[in-house]
C-alpha cells in the first residue's frame, strides 16, 4: 500500500525506514526478549540506547564539550516555564523577540516568573491574514544589557517565519546576555553554531521523533542558577548530573529519536539534509508565487523552510481544496486554527516527491477553478 503524504505540523511524518525498523524491533529489541517500551530505563539495554542517541545528536550538531544534552519531558510549552525557573536569575529580567505565535505564547508564560521586555516585535494586529510576516532588523532591537537571557524562536511553526541570521550580542550592547532559542521545528534541518547560544530547546515531535521527548542543550555555566522553588526534576543541574535519569525518561521516544539521528547520518548529515530542504522549499514557494489563487504573506527573506503557510484568495474554496487534497493522499494541510488558511509542513522526513505531489495538486486545483 502506498503511504499518503503527511504534511502535519506535529506530531509529524517520520522516515519510513525508521518506522519499519521500529516495527521489526517492537517485540524483541536486539535479542533482549523485550520491547524498548518494556525494559528498565536503568538496564544495560536502554543505557546503550540513550548513550548512543546522545552521542549521535552531539555529532550531528557539533555540540561543544561545555554543553550538556538533556532528555526531558513536557515539550516546548513546559520549557517556557522551566527555562525562567532555571535561568532568570536574581534580577528576573527576560528579553524577547516576538516573531510569531510561539514567542507570544512563550512570553506570556515567562511573565509569571520574571520581568518580561519585548525587545522587538513584528506583530501586525491590523492584518487580516498573516499577523507575523517578518523579523525585525537587528537595528530595531532594544535589548537590556543586564537581562538574564534573550528568548527567540528560530522557526515559527504556525506563522512560517524563520531566522537565518543570528544576533551579535556584543554589537547590540548585550555581550553577557545568553541567547535562548526554541528550535522545536527546525532543529537538525540545517547546520547551527551551538556556541552562539546559551540554551537550545525543542519538542521532538516535529523534526526528530514522536511526542513525549524534549531536547535541551545547555551551556555548563548556566546549570547552577535555578530558582529555589524550581522542582528538582526540572532543575537542569539535577537532570545533567543524573544523565537525564533523575526520573524515568521518555524511553520509547528517545529510542525512536536515536534511530532518526542514525537515519540523518545515513543521508549525509545535516549539511546534506539542508540542501534537500532548500530544494523542497523552493519548489513549493515558487509554485505559490506563480499562482493567482494562492498567496503567502511572509517576507521572502525569512520564509520558513519547514512550515509553509498559505491562503486561497477565495476562501470559500478552502473546504473543496482540503477534500481534493485528501482524496489525493495529501494529508493535514489545514492551517492552524488561530490563523486559518493552509499550511504544509515539510520537515526532514518529507521527501521531495511529497512536495512535488503537493505542487502538482496546487496547479491542478487552480486550473479547475480558472
Enzyme catalytic residues? 102, 182, 206
Is residue 293 a contact partner of residue 312, using CB atoms and an 8 Å limit?
Answer: yes
Question: Half-sphere exposure (CA, 13 Å, Cβ side) for 300?
Answer: 7
Q: Is the distance from CB of 124 to CB of 131 less than 8 angstroms?
A: yes
DSSP assigned state of 238? H
In a 3-state reduction of DSSP, which class is residue 294?
strand
Q: Is 115 helix (H, G, I), strand (E, B) or coil?
A: strand
Q: Do 180 and 150 touch, CB atoms closer than 8 A? A: yes
Q: Which cell is 333 given?
A: 494541510
Distance from C-alpha of 103 to C-alpha of 101, rounded to nearest angstrom: 6
φ, ψ of residue 269 in degrees (nearest 5): 85, -175
Distance CA 149, CA 89 (A): 9
Phi, psi at residue 340, to the nearest 5°? 75, -160
Amino acid at each position: 500500500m502506498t503511504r499518503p503524504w503527511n504534511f502535519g505540523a506535529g506530531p509529524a511524518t517520520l522516515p519510513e525506514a525508521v518506522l519499519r525498523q521500529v516495527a521489526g524491533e517492537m517485540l524483541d529489541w536486539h535479542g533482549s526478549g523485550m520491547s524498548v517500551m518494556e525494559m528498565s530505563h536503568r538496564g544495560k539495554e536502554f543505557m546503550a540506547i540513550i548513550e548512543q542517541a546522545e552521542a549521535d545528536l552531539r555529532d550531528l550538531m557539533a555540540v561543544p564539550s561545555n554543553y550538556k544534552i538533556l532528555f526531558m519531558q513536557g515539550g516546548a510549552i513546559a520549557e517556557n516555564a522551566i527555562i525562567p525557573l532555571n535561568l532568570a536569575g536574581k534580577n528576573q529580567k527576560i528579553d524577547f523577540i516576538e516573531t510569531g505565535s510561539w514567542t507570544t505564547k512563550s512570553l506570556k508564560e515567562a511573565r509569571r516568573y520574571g520581568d518580561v521586555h519585548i525587545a522587538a516585535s513584528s506583530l501586525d494586529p491590523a492584518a487580516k491574514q498573516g499577523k507575523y510576516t517578518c523579523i525585525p532588523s537587528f537595528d530595531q532591537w532594544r535589548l537590556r544589557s543586564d537581562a538574564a537571557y534573550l528568548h527567540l524562536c528560530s522557526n515559527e511553526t504556525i506563522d512560517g517565519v524563520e531566522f537565518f541570521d543570528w544576533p551579535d550580542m556584543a554589537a547590540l550592547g548585550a555581550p553577557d546576555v545568553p541567547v535562548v532559542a526554541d528550535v522545536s521545528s527546525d532543529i537538525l534541518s540545517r547546520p547551527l553554531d551551538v556556541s552562539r547560544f546559551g540554551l537550545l530547546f525543542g519538542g521532538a515531535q516535529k523534526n526528530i521523533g514522536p511526542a513525549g521527548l524534549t531536547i535541551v542543550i545547555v551551556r555548563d555555566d548556566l546549570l547552577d542558577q535555578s530558582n529555589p522553588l524550581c522542582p528538582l526534576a526540572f532543575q537542569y543541574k539535577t537532570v545533567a548530573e543524573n544523565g537525564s535519569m533523575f526520573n524515568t525518561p521518555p524511553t520509547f521516544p528517545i529510542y525512536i529519536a536515536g534511530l532518526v539521528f542514525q537515519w540523518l547520518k545515513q543521508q549525509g548529515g545535516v549539511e546534506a539534509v539542508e540542501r534537500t530542504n532548500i530544494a523542497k522549499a523552493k519548489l513549493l514557494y515558487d509554485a505559490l508565487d506563480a499562482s493567482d489563487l494562492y498567496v503567502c504573506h511572509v517576507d521572502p527573506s525569512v520564509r520558513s523552510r519547514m512550515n509553509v503557510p498559505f491562503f486561497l484568495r477565495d476562501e470559500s474554496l478552502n473546504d473543496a481544496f482540503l477534500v481534493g487534497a485528501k482524496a489525493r493522499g495529501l494529508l493535514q494541510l489545514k492551517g492552524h486554527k488561530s490563523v486559518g488558511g493552509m499550511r504544509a509542513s515539510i520537515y526532514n522526513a518529507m521527501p521531495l516527491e511529497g512536495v512535488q505531489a503537493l505542487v502538482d495538486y496546487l496547479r491542478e486545483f487552480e486550473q479547475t477553478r480558472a
